[in-house]
């Protein structure tokens, strides 16, 4: 990605993060890809909770889910539905839509350039906005649970 696009993405990221924080959209349990939060803190929380439960002789269940190629699996229309549902300002909705649309790729195979294919899913690897867009896409995964949850 070009330097200019990365600068533009950082400006957009600031606007998106402002909306996310002002409206408390990303669950507090989500620490991955968030400024001032660390996956290490989540791991410490998980260990502390497990130790407390063992001490109180409570059963403790843990589920660890690692989504393979997570960024590649973001459904564009689903993400756009969510930014609309989450009442992002219209200019940001249009910008996210533009960021995701008309992307394509081709590869070199044995010195030959392949046919160009449209990218219909996923957020671009290495893009400044991609981690935050992924967090928006998955922000409702915890639902209304009252259990201890740690997302990284």
**The model's pTM:** 0.78
- The single-letter DSSP state of residue 53 is H
Contact 151, 31 (CB under 8 A): yes
Q: Which residues of 10-35 are buried (b: 16+ CB within 10 A; e: fewer)?
A: eebbeebbebbeeeebbbeebbeebe
Reading the block at residue 103, the tokens are 């992307």
d(CA 138, CA 151): 10
DSSP H or E run through 135: helix 130-138
Domain boundaries, the chain: 3-138
pLDDT tens column, 120-140 = 899 998 899 999 999 899 888
Q: How confident is the model at residue 17 (pLDDT cuts 50, 70, 90)?
A: very high
Q: Quote the distance between the C-alpha of residue 71 and its chain's center.
A: 8
pLDDT tens, position by position, 57-116:
988 887 777 778 888 999 999 999 999 999 999 999 999 999 999 888 899 899 999 999
């Amino acid at each position: 990605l070009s330097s200019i696009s990365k600068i533009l993405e950082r400006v957009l990221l600031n606007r998106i993060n402002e909306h996310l924080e002002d409206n408390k959209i990303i669950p507090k349990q989500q620490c991955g890809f968030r400024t001032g939060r660390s996956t290490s803190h989540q791991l410490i929380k998980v260990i502390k909770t497990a130790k407390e439960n063992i001490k109180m002789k409570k059963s403790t269940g843990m589920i660890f889910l690692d989504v393979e190629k997570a960024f590649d699996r973001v459904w564009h229309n689903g993400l756009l539905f969510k930014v609309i549902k989450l009442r992002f300002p219209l200019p940001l909705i249009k910008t996210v839509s533009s960021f995701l649309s008309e992307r394509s790729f081709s590869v070199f195979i044995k010195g030959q350039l392949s046919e160009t294919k449209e990218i219909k899913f996923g957020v671009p690897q290495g893009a400044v906005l991609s981690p935050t867009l992924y967090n928006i896409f998955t922000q409702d995964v915890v639902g209304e649970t009252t259990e201890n949850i740690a997302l990284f």
